[in-house]
Amino acid sequence: MLEARSICFSEGKTNILNNISLKNEPKKCLAILGPSGSGKTTLLRILCGLIAPTSGTVLWENKVLTQGTKILVSPEKRFFGLVFQDSALFPHLNVINNVIFGLPRATPTENKKCAQEWLQKMGIERLANRDISTLSGGEKQRVALARALAPSPRVLFLDEPFSSVDRIVRTELITVLNQVLPAANTATFLVTHDERDAAELADETFQMPQI
CATH 3.40.50.300 residue ranges for the chain:
1-79+153-211
User: Model pTM greater than 0.85?
Assistant: yes
Q: Is the pLDDT of residue 211 over 70?
A: no
Give the tens place of pLDDT for each residue, 41-61: 999 999 999 999 999 999 999
Give the tens place of pLDDT for each residue, 72-95: 999 988 889 999 887 789 999 999
> What would the DSSP string read from start to end of 138-200?
HHHHHHHHHHHHTT--SEEEEESTTTTS-HHHHHHHHHHHHHHGGGS--EEEEEES-HHHHHH
Contact 158, 188 (CB under 8 A): yes
Rounded to whole angstroms, the Cα distance separating 155 from 149 reads 9
CATH architecture group of domain 1-79+153-211: 3-Layer(aba) Sandwich (3.40)
Give the tens place of pLDDT for each residue, 121-167: 999 999 999 999 999 999 999 999 999 999 999 999 999 998 888 88
